[in-house]
Amino acid sequence: MQTAPETTETISWQHFDQTDIRVGTIVEVNDFPEARKPAYKLLVDLGPLGLKRSSAQITKLYTKEELVGKQVLCVTNLGKKQIGKYISEVLVTGFEDENKDIVLAQPASKVPNGSKLM
């Protein structure tokens, strides 16, 4: 069994609490041919926070069709990020697998859009 690397820095609970991680449902997926690495343009319904745009490099493991309706965890307070001519408003989270492909972080059961990670 391989051991996980140690964390590089400890943060306070107050610092962690400032990170706003919410669940949202992907409602639209489009190709993003202008991106340097293969990616999709996503539109995510975050309930009371509204519809937010994101870009995600998840084309290896997910088709556009299977992403629609999928709930994902999003960091909502990082500010906007310009990726080419596209503005990403939230960060859709995930983990690298053994091939360095991104596996989406998702709740185990359906929860209301906009619910905050506690």
28 CB contacts (<8 Å, ≥6 apart)? Answer: 42, 43, 68
DSSP codes, 63-112 = -HHHHTT-EEEEE-SS--EEETTEEE-SEE-EEE-TTS-EEE---SS---
Residue 113 DSSP class:
T
Mean pLDDT computed over 13-22: 93
Q: End-to-end distance of the chain based on CA atoms, in angstroms?
A: 30
Q: Does position 15 have pLDDT exceeding 70, yes or no?
A: yes
- In Å, what is the CA distance from 79 to each residue of 26, 28, 54, 95, 103? 19, 21, 11, 21, 23
Q: pLDDT band at residue 8, thresholds of 50, 70 and 90?
A: confident
- What's the pLDDT tens digit per position in 19-65? 999 999 999 999 999 999 999 999 999 999 999 999 999 999 999 99
Name the average pLDDT for the chain. Answer: 94
Where do we find the tokens 């492909």?
101
What are the tokens at 97? 């697998």
Residue 24: name the closest of 106, 118, 108 by CA: 106
Residue 47, classed as helix, strand or coil, is helix
Domain 19-104: give its CATH superfamily.
Nucleic acid-binding proteins (2.40.50.140)
